[in-house]
Amino acid sequence: MINVALPKGRLGDKVYEKLAAAGYECEDLLDKKSRRLVFENAARGVRYFCVKPTDVPVYVERGAADVGIAGRDILLEYEPDVYELLDLGIGRCRMCIAGRRGFYDDTDRPLRVATKFPRIARSYYEGKGRDIDIIKLHGSIELAPILDLSDVICDIVETGSTLKENDLVVLEEVEPISARFIANKISWQFKHDAVAAMRNALAAETEDGR
Ligand code: PRP
């Protein structure tokens, strides 16, 4: 049995479609009303755990799940000790610095950066030699520059509509992001055939562009 940490929400739906196409379907997962967190298809030898996207690396790193699917943003932020085996090419978006249109950076003082991703923001600005003051938030990051809580934000931009509807613009691009298939290091050793088979089936789906 291979245990999969599946991110809940927008990304999870797309990820599950890909896993099902790759032969790891589990019909019960499609029941949106269900509050269950564990789903199993014994015939296919797969068990899914539905977890918060930011928690996927925790389950995989500690071996509660053999494999998982996590956004590159989460992997860059938490740097879990896992193997990254495949870029699934879905959940594509960009990590960006955004702010008000025409924003002017006053380099005489630290730049106030609101973000859910302090490590990514810190490392980006370290690379530029810019001193910053991190304001850690957990959501609705776009509010921060509007209320002058921060000068800019470091956040995910997918369609760009959240920025647009809040009169903000992308100022700089930090990293392209997409979903990655990750594996626990011990599972990669001891369940190698099962993990490699899942990775290869997903790779075949990804290469087909489906
Ligand atoms: C993410 C991100 C942006 C938004 C970007 O937030 O933090 O706010 O999506 O998507 P868009 O470019 O397509 O508008 P999420 O929906 O995860 O909610 P949050 O504000 O609670 O973090």
List, in sequence order, every residue forming a beta bridge with 7; answer none if it has no partner.
51
pLDDT at residue 208, as a whole number: 57
**How many Å lie between the centroid of ligand 1 and the Cα of residue 162?**
7
Q: How confident is the model at residue 27 (pLDDT cuts 50, 70, 90)?
A: confident
Q: Scanning the structure block, which residue is given the tokens 């589990």?
A: 26
Q: What is the pLDDT of residues 32-52, one digit of tens each?
A: 788 889 999 999 999 999 999
**How many Å lie between the centroid of ligand 1 and the Cα of residue 173?**
16
**How many Å lie between the centroid of ligand 1 and the Cα of residue 1?**
34
Strands 132-136 vs 152-157: parallel, antiparallel or unpaired: unpaired
Which one, of 36, 60, 175, lies nearest residue 119 by Cα? 175
CA distance from start to end of the chain: 26
Strands (E), 101-137: 111-115, 132-136
Decide whether any atom of ligand 1 lies within 6 Å of the 73 Cβ.
no
Q: Give me the sign of the Cα torsion angle 184, 188, 193, 198.
A: positive
**How many Å lie between the centroid of ligand 1 and the Cα of residue 38?**
26
The model's pTM is 0.93
Decide whether any atom of ligand 1 lies within 6 Å of the 8 Cβ.
no
Q: What is the pLDDT of residues 89-113, one digit of tens each?
A: 999 999 999 999 999 999 999 999 9
Write the residue with the smallest CA distance to atom 14 of ligand 1: 162
